[in-house]
Amino acid sequence: MSDNLSYLSGRKGLDDSLFEKLTQSGHVAGTPENSEMKKLAEEYLMGDAIVYGTASFYDFLKQENARKLAYACNGSACLLAGTQDKVQAKLHAHFGKDEIGEMCCLGRCHENSAFHIDGKNYSGSAIDKLETLAKNTTLTHDQYAVTCCAKRPILTAQFSSISEFYASLGAILRKPSEEILQELKVSNLRGRGGAGFPLAFKLLSCREVTSEQKFIVCNADEGDPGAFSDRYILEEQPHNLLMGMIIAGYTVGADTGVIYIRAEYPEAIDKVKKAVVELHKHEFIGNNIMGSGFNFKFKIIAAAGAYICGEETALLSSLEGQRPEVRVRPPYPTQQGLFNKPTVVNNVETLAAIPWILKNSGQAYAQLGTTKSSGTKLVCLDSAFGKPGLYEVEMGMPLRKLIDDAGGFIKPVKALHIGGPLGGIVPISKIDGLTIDFESFAENGFLLGHASIISIPEDFPMVKYLEHLFAFTAHESCGKCFPCRLGSQRGKELLQNAQTEDYKIDRRLFDDLLETLESGSLCALGGGLPLGVKNALKYFDNELKAFFE
């Protein structure tokens, strides 16, 4: 059925997409009117239930979003920092109860107190100046450290000028695509979105499929609480990403790049759009780019609030105007992706590394980092560090050295949650044995993931944090597979009951629940949640055993 819907959606293509029509129709009231959804169903030859099911899935399109004027961040970093009770109180003094919603996450984890009003994000001391926000736009510009700890900056290098940056593009587009693919293979660049999948292998897979249409899709739906590295690239280094997508498109034979940016990053959406306008002005995109005979264009899509769209197949369904549910694989997106056409989906940081590799050689990139984890990695540190912000580190850097370079902790911390809500919970006693690379984390029972680092304070109950993780998964589950949809809800209920009632959790039942989530879920949302929970049960048994039989 979804294949047929993909073909139907593909009839109108990206320039007249159902998803954008839905988001546009919801801008005024906060949710699309039923009459408008019925018109869209008729226009796109979809069933009424399909269109309604799609719109009602997203946080910023569902009926509960109607009349919302302000949003408070409910992400893990702000929760652990303890800033959001004050934010809620301040917002309630200015808005009615029904006018306040929640967003997760705004990427302001370095200073917290994050909230959203009138299409703009704020954090830090801005909550104390609600009356002046409309008059003082400088309050939206947060400050955080951007530091390079590697031998050579790749993604944090100072941008020169658009003409200088794209000076090498013409020569790159005249090289045989096989040569570019070989450079990327030599570089051993692995996906920075969490899975660590080799980029060259994914490009080769798409390149070998014959099709009149192919796509490069950038997954800029950076939803991991604690992560803001993609946001940094989108807002401060957008041309690294754009040039990377052009080169990837040339390599596989794709003429269209789609950048799917989360709605929680309005500033990023604006800055990427302006960067694309610059490219048009300088004729670095369009037809016959720099006389190379290669054509490429961009489409920027603003998302509508759904963490599951960080999963590549759910993202593709979202772009097609379908409910963003995870697809069963095979076929893989490189074979049958957007509108059933071959599609490469990669995250922002991965694609943004491509220009440096093509300018400096795959071998130069491979010489940075470790044998299996080459290059550099962007790491995000939350407000518990002495110098919170974004750090570009060489793969293999000791985690302890990074923490020391960042000024250590400003308050007692008992664990680090690394790699987002599906990452591992690392007790402080284990950080000396870890290096920042995929292998070190995996070998020690953790996950590097997106490399976001959230600090769990000594005085924050671990059982409350685990409840938060189950609640997050339950809210964000696409609902397609039972283990994730039901298991996350049951886990949340068990932990809630253990804290609020005279009830103790059956440990065997809880272990069975984790095993079912891990082995039965279709994607990493349900399948990855148990990792951090198991880490907590192992390393914080003394704290948690009071809640179990």
DSSP state of 132: G
| pLDDT score at 2 | 65
As given in the structure block, the two tokens for residue 407 are 């000024």
pLDDT digits (tens, 9 = 90+) for 381-398: 999 999 999 999 999 999
Residue 524: enclosing H or E segment and its boundaries? helix 524-539
Q: Percent of the chain, pLDDT > 70?
A: 99
What gap in Å lies between CA 376 and CA 273, rounded to an integer?
27
Predicted confidence at residue 5, as pLDDT, reads: 83
pLDDT at 195: 76
In the predicted structure, residue 416 carries a pLDDT above the cut 70: yes
| Ordered domains of the chain (ranges, CATH) | 2-65 (no CATH), 70-143 (3.40.30.10), 162-366 (3.40.50.11540), 376-457 (3.10.20.600), 462-547 (1.20.1440.230)
Q: Whole-model pTM?
A: 0.96
Which tens digit of pLDDT belongs to each residue from 449-473? 999 999 999 999 999 999 999 999 9
Do 229 and 110 form a contact (C-beta atoms < 8 A)? no
Please say whether the beta carbons of 74 and 101 come within 8 A.
no
pLDDT band at residue 30, thresholds of 50, 70 and 90?
Answer: confident
Are 463 and 504 contacting, i.e. CB atoms less than 8 angstroms apart? no
Q: Please say if the pLDDT value at position 1 is more than 60.
A: no
- Identify which has the larger pLDDT, 215 or 132: 215
In the sheet that holds 120-122, the strands lie side by side as: 100-103, 70-73, 115-117, 120-122
pLDDT at 372 over 60: yes
Banded pLDDT at 523 (limits 50, 70, 90)? very high
Per DSSP, the residues of 273-339 read HHHHHHHHHTTSSBSSGGGSS--BEEEEEE--S-GGGGSHHHHHHHHTTS--PPPPSSSPTTTS-GG
Residue 138 confidence (pLDDT) above 80: no
Q: With contact defined as beta carbons under 8 Å apart, do 315 and 324 qualify?
A: yes
pLDDT in the model for residue 332:
95
Convert the pLDDT of each residue in 159-169 to its tens digit.
Answer: 999 999 999 99
Based on its alpha-carbon atoms, the radius of gyration of the chain, rounded to whole angstroms, reads 23
Sheet architecture: strand order including 413-418: 145-148, 389-394, 376-381, 452-457, 413-418, 424-427
pLDDT confidence tier of residue 547, bands split at 50, 70 and 90: very high
Please write the tens of the pLDDT for every residue from 232-287.
999 999 999 999 999 999 999 999 999 999 999 999 999 999 999 999 999 999 99
Give me 109's structure tokens.
């984890």
Would the pLDDT of 16 be above 50? yes
Residue with tokens 């700890």: 149
Cα dihedral sign for 61, 64, 70, 75? negative
Nearest to 121 by CA among 240, 331, 269: 269
Cβ–Cβ < 8 Å for 413, 458: yes
